[in-house]
Amino acid sequence: MVRNDNVKIIPLGGVGEVGKNMIAVEYGNEIIIADCGLAFPEDDMLGVDLLIPDISYLRRTKKKIVGYVISHGHEDHIGGLAYILPEINVPIWATPLTRGLIEGKLREAKLLDKTKMHTFEDGDTVQVGGFTVETFLVSHSIPDAVGLAITCGAGTVVYTGDFKFDQTPVDGRVSNFAKMAEIGGKGVLVLLSDCVHVETPGHTPSEQVVTETFRRIFGRAEGRIIIATFASLIARIQQSIDVAEEYGRKVAVVGRSLERNVAIATELGYLRSRPGTLVSLQELGRGDAEKAVLIVTGSQGEPTSVLNRIANKDHRSVKLQEGDTVIVSATPIPGNETAVSRIINNLFVQGAEVIYSAIDRVHVSGHASSDELRLMLNIMKPKYAVPIHGERRHLVMYKKLAVSVGIPPENVVLPENGAVMQFGPERGSIVERTPSNLVFVDGVSVGDVDHVVLRDRQLLSQDGMLLVVLSIDRQTGHLVAGPDFISRGFLYEGEEYRVTEEARELVRRTFQHDGNIPSEWSWAHRKIKNSLGQLVYQRTGRRPMILPVVMEV
């Protein structure tokens, strides 16, 4: 590794947004990557399945990359690996549960045999290229979450991952304060800190709050209980199983990703249940409703999730019954509020009792509130502080908090995705910017869908389409057949004849000429689109996508 006094840090996702977390740390001629997540699309991103980080910078510096180090197993930190590994295939280091969840995803993507995996545990020190990486356990809503201290010749960069300081975690493993104090005592150049919950004063409540709420709900529920949560929220799944066992209920998990994660966590010893508690959906259906619990996907309103299909009455195996209680055990991620509200309303329409975070403590955040963020700053005592994992308002609020504990304002850098930050003994600042565009995953296509495609999809969804088909004589330019019109999602039954007759006459006039035959007919496409667009808007007030098909015969 070439020695110098500066280290570069490049957030490729997770800054100014929630999701697709990915950070590159560059020193000399080597780069190490912390996390590789995904994000879910907003409502107006029609047909888009997922978003992943823009890795343009990594493509240019591919030969420098020595490995990925992963903080924990949530989708916004590991979900991008299956899409990015085909281009950036370097070894991955992760804790046992996180590794198991990654391997499950890579096996499904047929990438596992091509990927080198390594395991580290709480308190370990590993060498990744020229970087020394130390791990420290943190509390989060999934077991085996760690922060990472990445040391190079310029100093130590601490990456907190997602964290909070829960003194009574579900798995009984509290944050490793001794290791954190040791790292802070040796000196920290840069602290990269989770900040998404900075607006909340005090401390984030313990996961045990949710356990107590579940006990109250289970105690009064007369029928089935359906719990919707994230597929990777292992702590919440454990709480659901524990309380179900207290009340003599059997549990079925429904949803492909949920079933896969439960199997992995159980095999690795991170999810515990008594013999006979976990059963298949078919076996659960043969028992009494008051003894049944279903854990399902869909807490964020995902269109293909189990809860969404139940709410829309199109799940083939699960139909809501009188007396059912549905618990939505999550807070909507920004951008998902409308989808979640729609599901909750549909569940109420079907007569279910629905309990969600706005009316009861069925969810607590896995992220540090303001006092915990201050404590992390005081433990690490960094020269520079950089907030990550949050929207712009969270970053700005974190800067105020960091200044309040003694960090000079000029030493708190507020980045954007693609900002190349450089830190050294004298100064820390943004020195350049690399492309940071939205990269869409649409089916098997990665990065092929752009804003033009999305705009076309939005136009089609709003005002529909008008297809104009006609044939012209190649020699004379005269109209031979048509025009015929095909419309979708545009004309109402009562207005179709009137509008198409006017449009037909307008197109015919377009081909009345003085005998001078154009050398090519692209002008006809433009003329038809422009003139029809004006006519249709005047008659209907709508702007459909107009597609002329001109055939020469």
Task: Decide: helix, strand or coil at residue 524.
Answer: helix
Mean pLDDT within 228-236? 91
The H-or-E segment that residue 97 falls in is helix 96-108
Q: What total of structural domains would you count in the chain?
A: 3
Q: What pLDDT, on a 0 to 100 scale, did the predictor assign at position 405?
A: 97
Q: What pLDDT, on a 0 to 100 scale, did the predictor assign at position 476?
A: 66
483 and 385 in a common domain: no
> Is residue 339 scored above 80 in pLDDT?
yes
The H-or-E segment that residue 290 falls in is none
**Residue 305's domain is classified under what CATH number?**
3.40.50.10710
| Least trusted range by pLDDT, from 42-56, 418-432, 444-458 | 444-458
> Is residue 444 scored above 50 in pLDDT?
no
71 and 117 in a common domain: yes
Confidence (pTM): 0.81
Q: What pLDDT, on a 0 to 100 scale, did the predictor assign at position 484?
A: 76
**Catalytic positions, written as ranges:** 194, 367
> Is residue 147 scored above 90 in pLDDT?
yes
Domain membership of residue 115 (yes or no) is: yes
Q: What pLDDT, on a 0 to 100 scale, did the predictor assign at position 219?
A: 94
Mean pLDDT within 212-236? 94
527 and 396 in a common domain: no
> Is residue 448 scored above 50 in pLDDT?
no
Mean pLDDT within 142-160? 97
Residues 360, 363, 368: CA angle, nearest 5 degrees: 125
Q: What pLDDT, on a 0 to 100 scale, did the predictor assign at position 493?
A: 56
**Residue 492's domain is classified under what CATH number?**
3.10.20.580
| Least trusted range by pLDDT, from 179-188, 277-286, 351-360, 461-470 | 461-470
Q: What pLDDT, on a 0 to 100 scale, did the predictor assign at position 532?
A: 78
184 and 58 in a common domain: yes
325 and 194 in a common domain: no
* pLDDT, tens digit (0-9, with 9 covering 90-100), for 276-328: 999 999 888 887 878 899 999 988 887 788 999 999 998 988 999 888 999 99
Residue positions counted in the chain: 553
> Is residue 470 scored above 80 in pLDDT?
no
CA distance 268 to 96: 8
374 and 506 in a common domain: no
Mean pLDDT within 524-552? 74
Domain membership of residue 345 (yes or no) is: yes
Q: What pLDDT, on a 0 to 100 scale, did the predictor assign at position 549?
A: 75
Tokens (6 digits) for 371: 């006092």
Mean pLDDT within 213-223? 95
332 and 245 in a common domain: yes
The answer for residues whose C-beta is within 8 angstroms of residue 218's C-beta and 6 or more apart is 225, 243, 244, 246, 247, 249
pLDDT category of residue 431 using cuts at 50, 70 and 90: very high
* pLDDT, tens digit (0-9, with 9 covering 90-100), for 474-532: 666 667 776 777 777 666 555 666 677 777 777 777 766 544 555 455 666 777 777 77
383 and 270 in a common domain: no
Domain membership of residue 185 (yes or no) is: yes
Q: What pLDDT, on a 0 to 100 scale, did the predictor assign at position 99?
A: 97
Domain membership of residue 441 (yes or no) is: no
Q: What pLDDT, on a 0 to 100 scale, did the predictor assign at position 399?
A: 98
How far, in whole angstroms, is CA 213 from its chain's centroid? 27
Question: One-letter amino acid identity for 410?
Answer: E
Q: Residue 195 is part of which domain span?
A: 7-202+365-414
**Residue 155's domain is classified under what CATH number?**
3.60.15.10
> Is residue 467 scored above 80 in pLDDT?
no
pLDDT category of residue 455 using cuts at 50, 70 and 90: low
288 and 213 in a common domain: yes
81 and 51 in a common domain: yes
Mean pLDDT within 13-18? 91
Q: What pLDDT, on a 0 to 100 scale, did the predictor assign at position 534?
A: 78
Between strands 465-472 and 30-34, the pairing is: unpaired
Domain membership of residue 425 (yes or no) is: no
Q: What pLDDT, on a 0 to 100 scale, did the predictor assign at position 128?
A: 98
Q: Does residue 466 come out as left (phi exceeding 0), alpha (psi in the -120 to 50 range) or beta?
A: beta
Tokens (6 digits) for 391: 């929207």
The answer for residues whose C-beta is within 8 angstroms of residue 230's C-beta and 6 or more apart is 74, 75, 236, 297, 299, 300, 330
Rg (CA), the chain: 28
Domain membership of residue 62 (yes or no) is: yes
- Comparing 528 with 227, the larger pLDDT belongs to 227
Domain membership of residue 136 (yes or no) is: yes
58 and 169 in a common domain: yes
- Comparing 117 with 530, the larger pLDDT belongs to 117
> Is residue 449 scored above 50 in pLDDT?
no
Domain membership of residue 467 (yes or no) is: yes
> Is residue 148 scored above 80 in pLDDT?
yes
386 and 284 in a common domain: no
Burial grade of 215 (CB within 10 A; 0-12, 13-18, 19 or more): middle
| Least trusted range by pLDDT, from 239-248, 265-274, 313-322, 469-478 | 469-478
